[in-house]
Amino acid sequence: MTMTSACRNLDTQPAAHAADRRKWTVAEAEALFELPFMDLVFRAQQVHREHFDPNAVQRSTLLSIKTGGCSEDCSYCSQSARYRTGLDRQQLMAVAEVVEKAKAAKAKGASRFCMGAAWKGPKEREMETVLAMVREVKALGMETCVTLGMLKGEQAQQLKDAGLDYYNHNVDTAPEYYDKVITTHTLADRLDTLDQVRNAGINVCSGGIIGMGEGRSGRAGLLVQLANMDRPPESVPINNLVAIPGTPLADAEKLDPFEFVRTIAAARIMMPGSFVRLSAGREQMSDEMQALCFMAGANSIFYGDRLLTTDNPEADRDETLFARLGLRPI
């Protein structure tokens, strides 16, 4: 496909989530990446303005409620028990402690609280504790999100009944690249969990990581997979790999920052109605690069000084950046 036809198709992009929403091919997505940077960002900003307030950014605060010792072998992850990353393992936190952290996040201005556990999937006893966390954080008047690994249908329903708003479960990379990064579970397993989440009526948060050596076709393939879902995820985190010493991806070649911005822009164009989250890797980004990401259509961030096991910009730095850019929290 030529660049011109990619642009023409964008002009006819129907409203998000419409039944006749167009499906993307990898070649079409790649054609977006090939556009001159200014054209791509301009298109993305146009699409963004058609669907969202361009000066409003949603903020989620993350908390690792159970850290390390995970059975899985995800090549990027500090929490896999298979790699020596020097991480201190921590058991599932107490509900009261989690609620205190959520209150602090709310006081700082986060609208959503996202609780992450280093599990392949939760066991029954662990579910009871997580359900209590969801109920209590919801009662604070915050949106709730959890990421617990693979779920059975019944567990998804329990989470819904407890008041869960979002479930995060990333497809992580292009289908062709998945088994180069993870071998202990399959992409089909991940998609099955996403189905359980959808069927339970929970909002889907699903995205991936770039900068793992996937190449442009891999980045295009990741976005196509997300955009072509029967309903694209409501929230799409785009993570820049945080290279963790001791993991197989410790020495991955750094992605060109403009390629990261291009990925955000392509995500915005391909999923016009979704929140696109500028996720892991912000600590390593300049303010100018973050501003480019917002211009390219990112409208959500992780907010607070920690992600799960690595650093994120201090809330004060983000507040200053928001003020300098005239951005408002949602």
Q: Which residues bind ligand SAM (CB under 6 A)?
A: 76-77, 116, 118-119, 147, 149, 169-170, 172, 209, 239, 241-242, 244, 280, 308
268 labelled ligand-binding: no
DSSP string for residues in 263-327:
HHHHHHHHSTTSEEEE-TTGGGS-HHHHHHHHHTT--EEE-SSBSSSSB---HHHHHHHHHHHT-
Q: Are 198 and 169 in contact (CB under 8 A)?
A: no
77 labelled ligand-binding: yes
Stretch that binds ligand DTB, among 41-49, 136-144, 246-254, 302-310 (CB under 6 A): 302-310
Helix (H) or strand (E) segment spanning residue 17 = none
Q: Is 214 exposed, middle or buried (0-12, 13-18, 19+ CB in 10 A)?
A: buried
Pairing of strands 166-168, 143-147: parallel
Taking the complex as a whole, how short is the minimal distance between the CB of residue 99 and ligand SF4, in angstroms? 23
- Rounded alpha-carbon distances, angstroms, from residue 169 to 189, 226, 229: 11, 12, 14
**Max Cα–Cα distance, the chain, nearest Å:** 56
Residue 304 near ligand DTB by CB under 6 A: no
Residue 170 near ligand DTB by CB under 6 A: yes
Instruction: Report H helices in the chain.
Output: 3-11, 26-34, 37-51, 95-108, 124-139, 153-162, 178-181, 187-199, 215-227, 257-270, 287-295, 315-325
Nearer to ligand SAM, 17 or 198 (CB): 198
Active site residue 7: no
89 labelled ligand-binding: no
Stretch that binds ligand SF4, among 74-82, 204-212, 251-259, 297-305 (CB under 6 A): 74-82
Q: Which two tokens stand for residue 234?
A: 């409501």
Site string for ligand SF4, 84-103 (x = CB under 6 A): --------------------
205 labelled ligand-binding: yes
Residue 168 near ligand DTB by CB under 6 A: yes
Binder of ligand SF4 out of 28, 72, 214, 234 (CB under 6 A): 72
Taking residue 183's Cβ as centre, other Cβ atoms within 10 Å add up to 12
Active site residue 70: yes
Q: Are 254 and 211 in contact (CB under 8 A)?
A: yes
Q: CA 103 to CA 246: how far, in whole Å?
A: 34
Annotated catalytic residue, options 59, 70, 262, 268: 70
Nearer to ligand SAM, 6 or 145 (CB): 145
Q: Are 202 and 242 in contact (CB under 8 A)?
A: no
Binder of ligand SF4 out of 122, 146, 148, 149 (CB under 6 A): 149
Nearer to ligand SF4, 72 or 214 (CB): 72
Active site residue 114: yes
282 labelled ligand-binding: no
Taking residue 283's Cβ as centre, other Cβ atoms within 10 Å add up to 16
Taking the complex as a whole, how short is the minimal distance between the CB of residue 170 and ligand SAM, in angstroms? 4
Taking the complex as a whole, how short is the minimal distance between the CB of residue 75 and ligand SF4, in angstroms? 9
Q: CA 277 to CA 274: how far, in whole Å?
A: 9
293 labelled ligand-binding: no
- Dihedral angle computed from the Cα positions of residues 197, 199, 200 and 201, in that order, rounded to the nearest 10 degrees: 90
Binder of ligand DTB out of 307, 318, 321, 322 (CB under 6 A): 307
What residues make contact with ligand DTB under the rule CB under 6 A? 62, 78, 116, 147, 168, 170, 207, 237, 239, 242, 279-280, 307-310
Annotated binding site for [4Fe-4S] cluster: 70, 74, 77
Q: Which residues are annotated as a binding site for [2Fe-2S] cluster?
A: 114, 145, 205, 277
Catalytic site residues?
A: 70, 74, 77, 114, 145, 205, 277
Extract the annotated binding site: 70, 74, 77, 114, 145, 205, 277
